[in-house]
Amino acid sequence: MFCCPLCEEYTIYSVCNDCRKIRHYMSIYSKGRIIEILDSILSRTEDKQDNKVKSEIKKEIRTKMENIDAHKTERDKLDEEIRKEIKEKFNKDKKMY
Ligand SMILES: [Zn+2]
């Protein structure tokens, strides 16, 4: 048995499962973002926490959707470039015959 260095509860791992989960979120969203979320949620009264959780989730979804849109625009541009190149090559080949 170990003592989790974060929550100080007994664990069979060096860090307990709950704290490992928190560490996992930090690796995905960055430590700063996790602290920002916790600060903004935990500093509110309990009845307001639900609304804040919902708004944080919405914010996260909005960011992800914006990223998807950005990728879509990039893909569309690339698609257009490729079509143009193919068309130019086709016209060039046509002139040769
Ligand atoms: Zn722990």
Same domain, 95 and 59: yes
- CA 50 to ligand 1 centroid distance, Å: 25
24 and 65 in a common domain: no
Is residue 59 domain-shared with residue 97, that is, in the same domain? yes
Structural domains of the chain, count: 2
Q: State pLDDT tens for residues 77-87.
A: 899 999 999 99
Q: How far is the CA of 26 from the centre of ligand 1 (A)?
A: 14
The verdict on 60 and 33 lying in the same domain is no
Distance 30 CA to ligand 1 centre (A): 19
Provide the whole-model pTM: 0.50
Condensed to tens digits (0 to 9), the pLDDT of residues 1-15 reads: 899 999 999 999 999
**Phi, psi for residue 7 in degrees, rounded to 5:** -100, -10
Q: Are residues 58 and 94 in the same domain?
A: yes
Which of 2-11, 30-39, 43-52, 58-67 comes out lowest in average pLDDT?
A: 43-52
Q: Is 3 left (phi over 0), alpha (psi -120 to 50) or beta?
A: beta
Write the CB contacts of 18 (distance below 8 Å, at least 6 apart in sequence). Answer: 7
Is residue 68 a contact partner of residue 61, using CB atoms and an 8 Å limit?
no
Domain extent, residue 26, equals 1-43
Ligand 1 centre from 14 Cα, in Å?
Answer: 9
